[in-house]
Amino acid sequence: MRLLHVCPVILITLGLCRSSLAQTPVSQRRAEIIRGRVMNDSGRALPGITVVATMAPDRSFRQAISDSAGRYQIRFEAGTGDYLVYAAHTGYRAFRRRVTLGPTPEITVDIRLQPRSTEHHCRQPKFRAMLAPVFAFFNQRSTPASEASAPRS
């Protein structure tokens, strides 16, 4: 009998704890939209670029692909107003920007992807120069075709 009186008290206590630990209620959140254009450094639209927006603090994300005019739009049904916008493409440096929405539920984030530097191409001659003694060693050991076909005495 005593167990029956304790169970409702425990259930009510658990319910209160659960409600007090919950974050901002979804009913107080609003639908938020992040939109913009993806362009290269000269302002030309880049179609087919995947743009990812990650919502803080829970790290849920949405993504969109830019259309033929470079436009994209990402919608969060229950947004927090704090996002990290990311875009990347082969040959370009990755774009990252943290955005915070103000009183309006929409924000425009235009993305300009900068070409990736060609530093790695500049390193190739240095790498070749470093390996030159190795190439020279193997070139000395190999015999030219004219010597290999000549009869030995």
* pLDDT tens digits along 16-61: 333 333 454 555 678 999 999 999 999 999 999 999 999 998 899 9
Lowest-pLDDT range, 13-22, 54-63, 95-104, 105-114? 13-22
Residue 113 has pLDDT above 80, yes or no: yes
The 10 Å Cβ neighbour count of residue 59 is 8
pLDDT on residue 153: 53
Using an 8 Å Cβ cutoff, are 59 and 83 in contact? no
pLDDT tens per residue, range 117-145: 765 544 555 556 666 666 666 666 555 55
pLDDT on residue 7: 41
The secondary structure of 42-90 as a DSSP string is TS-B-TT-EEEEEETTT--EEEEE--TTSEEEEEEEEE-SEEEEEE--T
pTM: 0.59
Mean pLDDT of all residues in 78-92 = 93
Domains in the chain: boundaries: 26-140
Closest CA to 93 of 77, 69, 117, 109: 117
> Can you tell me the distance from the alpha carbon of 49 to that of 43, in angstroms, rounded to the nearest whole number?
15
Q: Which CATH class is domain 26-140?
A: mainly beta
Matching residue, tokens 């993806």: 38
> Can you tell me the distance from the alpha carbon of 78 to that of 20, in angstroms, rounded to the nearest whole number?
20
User: What does pLDDT average to over the chain?
Assistant: 76
> Can you tell me the distance from the alpha carbon of 125 to that of 148, in angstroms, rounded to the nearest whole number?
32
